[in-house]
Chains A and B, each alone.
Chain A
């Protein structure tokens, strides 16, 4: 096979493998978000789970909550830290967004950073947006 063709292919391959490196050089890289605790969450300080657990596991918890509420009408979650919460994403003072008031800062920054597009908002609305 033609040697120039092989070298061309090899150069393209090497560039493709190194793309994570040069892509971040030629484009401006967004830094990792620092989620802010605002409003009620700032004073409350106690969430449903521990901080790391919450960061890693909240989607499974929400999934379980959805099934518990929709199938068993069970709307109360008693957390390990002794507090109790309403099993709701956006309804009521005791829900997720009831405490973490700013969806854009609390949910979206990390989701955008990690390229996660949760389908929560296909059905739910952000109460702040309605008002």
Chain B
């Protein structure tokens, strides 16, 4: 047990209870269902824009792309044009692959001591962080997109297609959506990794655990509402449609679990810009990824450089030519 995850865990529990009891006990549906979601979306957008504009206005004086392959060199040396791009096309391909396939995580290695007598430190390829991250991000994306059914009426057919594919296993009624299950499983795996891998535990802070617990809470409440405790989905859609059309209503009969779910989601949105989750915007702005490695082909002048007063030799000679000739010193240009 360690406070770095006990505190975030307690915090998520408390947040859940605040919403649950606030609705079930104090009847604060209007706060957790209407006021806070609006506040959260405003905080999310304002914070996100503020952060990105801050990054956009900070100077990137040096070309610092990380290079993971052969640089462009002599024509008979084969360049790795994606891992060491020298053109913006190469950079674009590199960024697309990074954003959609997390290639830098794919290269993840782990260090461990050999179990035999030699006890040597050896590094090996460790793919499971990449697998877990892909599973988590894509399932979360699908879950978020699927929730658009609560904000559109009639629901666009592309969403129905997504639901069809997500529900292709047709288990039970209501039919299981794979993305929800994968989301919970992947977050639990990523959490287990932080807790049980001692080297990862050592570098994990409360700010690493909090979003994980929050997303686990969101997934758990969502799955619980869909598959176990059940809610009246049409009433809930009247609430969400009310939010989307700025004419909020509180439906009757919807229990505290739904408000706890929407409260945790609102917390996630509000907390997003202040947290490590901003890698969502930050990945596009990573200077080590989004720059071409063309420092040998192009001259990049540091924009911070001020104008240095120089006095080159030709200027020096122009200045002192007559005196130099008088003193018998050799000059490049006579007259």
Q: Do A and B come from one complex?
A: yes
A9: interface (CB < 8 Å): yes
With a cutoff of 8 Å between Cβ atoms, the chain A residues found around residue B174 in the complex are 59-60, 116
> What 1/0 flags go to A20-44 for Cβ under 8 Å of B?
1101100101111100000000000
Q: By the criterion CB–CB under 8 Å, are A113 and B56 in contact?
A: no
A14: interface (CB < 8 Å): yes
B241 touches which one: A6, A17, A32, A63 (CB < 8 A)?
Answer: A32
A: contact size bracket: 35 or more
B148: interface (CB < 8 Å): yes
B30: interface (CB < 8 Å): no
B238 touches which one: A3, A7, A32 (CB < 8 A)?
Answer: A32
A14 touches which one: B49, B164, B172, B253 (CB < 8 A)?
Answer: B49
Question: Which of B149, B173, B174 gathers the greatest number of chain A CB atoms within 10 Å?
Answer: B173
B290: interface (CB < 8 Å): yes
A55-B155 in contact given A29-B241, A115-B149 (Cβ < 8 Å): no
With a cutoff of 8 Å between Cβ atoms, the chain B residues found around residue A118 in the complex are 173
With a cutoff of 8 Å between Cβ atoms, the chain A residues found around residue B45 in the complex are 14, 17-18
Q: How many residues of B are counted as interface, with CB atoms below 8 angstroms from the partner's CB atoms?
A: 45
With a cutoff of 8 Å between Cβ atoms, the chain A residues found around residue B253 in the complex are 52
What separation, in Å, do the CA atoms of A60 and B130 have in the docked complex?
Answer: 37
Q: By the criterion CB–CB under 8 Å, are A32 and B285 in contact?
A: no
A56: interface (CB < 8 Å): yes
B233: interface (CB < 8 Å): yes
Closest to B249 in A: A32
A56-B244 in contact given A1-B285, A23-B152, A29-B153 (Cβ < 8 Å): no
A72 to chain B, nearest CB (A): 18
What separation, in Å, do the CA atoms of A120 and B49 have in the docked complex?
Answer: 46
Which residues of chain A from 53 to 76 have any CB-CB distance to chain B below 8 Å in the complex? 55-57, 59-60, 62-63
Closest to A3 in B: B56
> What 1/0 flags go to B37-66 for Cβ under 8 Å of A?
000010011001100110110001000000
A59 touches which one: B173, B244, B281 (CB < 8 A)?
Answer: B173
B245 touches which one: A29, A57, A62 (CB < 8 A)?
Answer: A29
B151: interface (CB < 8 Å): yes
Q: By the criterion CB–CB under 8 Å, are B230 and A115 in contact?
A: no
B117 to chain A, nearest CB (A): 52
Q: By the criterion CB–CB under 8 Å, are A113 and B237 in contact?
A: yes
B233 to chain A, nearest CB (A): 5
Which residues of chain A from 111 to 131 have any CB-CB distance to chain B below 8 Å in the complex? 112-119
Q: By the criterion CB–CB under 8 Å, are A110 and B234 in contact?
A: yes
Q: By the criterion CB–CB under 8 Å, are A17 and B41 in contact?
A: yes
A77: interface (CB < 8 Å): no
Which residues of chain B from 255 to 296 have any CB-CB distance to chain A below 8 Å in the complex? 281, 284-285, 287, 290
Closest to A55 in B: B232
What separation, in Å, do the CA atoms of A14 and B45 have in the docked complex?
Answer: 7
A10: interface (CB < 8 Å): yes
Q: By the criterion CB–CB under 8 Å, are B151 and A23 in contact?
A: yes
B27: interface (CB < 8 Å): no
What separation, in Å, do the CA atoms of A76 and B196 have in the docked complex?
Answer: 51
Closest to A6 in B: B56
What separation, in Å, do the CA atoms of A21 and B56 have in the docked complex?
Answer: 27
Closest to A54 in B: B232
B contact set with A: CB distance below 8 Å:
41, 44-45, 48-49, 52-53, 55-56, 60, 148-149, 151-155, 159-160, 163-164, 170, 172-175, 230-235, 237-238, 241, 243-246, 253, 281, 284-285, 287, 290
Known interface pairs A14-B48, A110-B234; 8 further A-B residue pairs with C-beta atoms within 8 A, sorted by A's residue number? A3-B56, A10-B53, A20-B243, A20-B244, A21-B244, A24-B152, A55-B235, A112-B154
Please list 13 pairs of residues, one from A and one from B, whose beta carbons are closer than 8 Å in the complex, sorted by A's number. A1-B60, A6-B55, A6-B285, A10-B281, A13-B48, A14-B45, A17-B41, A19-B148, A20-B152, A24-B153, A33-B234, A59-B173, A114-B234
The 4 A-B residue pairs with the shortest CB-CB distance, nearest first, are: A20-B151, A115-B155, A63-B173, A56-B230
